Structure 1
Amino acid sequence: MVTRAKDVIHKPNLRYALLTSRYATEEPKDLEAAMAHPGWNLAVMDEVGRINMLHTWDLVEPTEDMNLLHSKWVFKTKLKPDGTVDKLKERLVANGFEQEEGVDYLETYSHVVRTATIRLVLEVATAK
């Protein structure tokens, strides 16, 4: 019996058709590789300028009782729907997994508002 696989006939799976790109996107693994590429170099410099402009962090002298967190650059190529390169996106991320509860932080809190809370506030405001 001759099957399509034995006849080397392969039908593409349409489920994965949108995940492929005609263009090879090389993403750098570290900062040195990114600085060698002109596009990534410009993107990194823009991010550093944005961090300084927004005063995201201040440079302070470390003391012995501080637990220093390292950081890492994460690089991602954003594509347009047709598969061409839209922009080169990078961000500087702190390695938060190096923190210890009770030493570096006491508690975590995330500002999340439920839809029911917003409705309740709007209802009280409307009633008054």
Structure 2
Amino acid sequence: ASTIDGRRKGACLFCQEYFMDLYLLAELKTISLKVTTVDMQKPPPDFRTNFEATHPPILIDNGLAILENEKIERHIMKSVPGGHNLFVQDKEVASLIENLYSKLKLVLVRKDEQKSASLRAHLSRIDGLLERRGT
């Protein structure tokens, strides 16, 4: 949840991206994954005791707490089976998905046919890439 107001979902892009990657590894049975959400406006006492004013994301692996984004990335890369693959940047994929969310949001908010056509064309390009790669 959002550290901005405790109500918005998915405000942290770092959390979203790595949750999806770690969830994939869990689906492949490479790792075991447990996600715990915390209301930062009213964190539970044990959270306050252990992490004071630290904002999410926090990764806990076998009792070791990692609190900074870069350290979380390094830990995943070195310690999580298959984790090193999460940080290989595919430029073609990155450019295709870069503006997908904003286009989808415009279609949902404005319901404009031109925006819908733009989104469909974008999704078609993503579909083409997946087909070329056999995924």
Give the shorter-chain TM-score range. under 0.3
TM-score computed with the length of structure 2 as normaliser: 0.23
TM-score computed with the length of structure 1 as normaliser: 0.24
Structure in which a larger fraction of residues adopt strand: 1
Structure in which a larger fraction of residues adopt helix: 2
